[in-house]
Amino acid sequence: MTQDEIRKVVLDILENITPDEDLSSLDDAVAFRDQMELDSMDFLDIVMELRKQYRIQIPEEDYENLISMASTVAYLTPSLKDVECPL
């Protein structure tokens, strides 16, 4: 997957987790929690969906890498670069 495709995957997960949010103007550089209602259980949903969909096991010490879209895409790129985009 390219970084754009990884971004689409993460956005797809976010849209499912936060169905009331308008994510069309999401700022990739800003923390998710600063621009949408996202609590710790929602955050774990992101981790869980990545685990289910791509079998990526994200250790707790790496959670800080999932703070924003930009950091999330950067963190996931090595794991997903050889995975075919499902979207």
Say how far apart CA 39 and CA 83 lie, in whole Å: 29
Please report whether residue 52 would count as binding another protein according to CB under 8 A.
yes
Q: How far is the CB of 11 from another protein (least distance, A)?
A: 16
> Helix axis angle, 69-80 relative to 40-54, nearest 10°?
20
Query: Candidates 4-12, 18-26, 68-76, 78-86 — which segment interacts with another protein by CB under 8 A?
Result: 18-26
Please report whether residue 19 would count as binding another protein according to CB under 8 A.
yes
Q: How many residues bind another protein (CB under 8 A)?
A: 12
Cβ burial 25-54 (10 Å sphere, 16+ → b, else e):
ebeeeeebeeebebeeeebebbbebbeeeb
Choose between 41 and 87: whose C-beta lies nearer to another protein: 41
H helices present in 1-87, as ranges: 3-17, 40-54, 69-80
Please report whether residue 17 would count as binding another protein according to CB under 8 A.
yes
Residues that bind another protein (CB under 8 A): 17-20, 37, 41, 44-45, 48, 51-52, 57
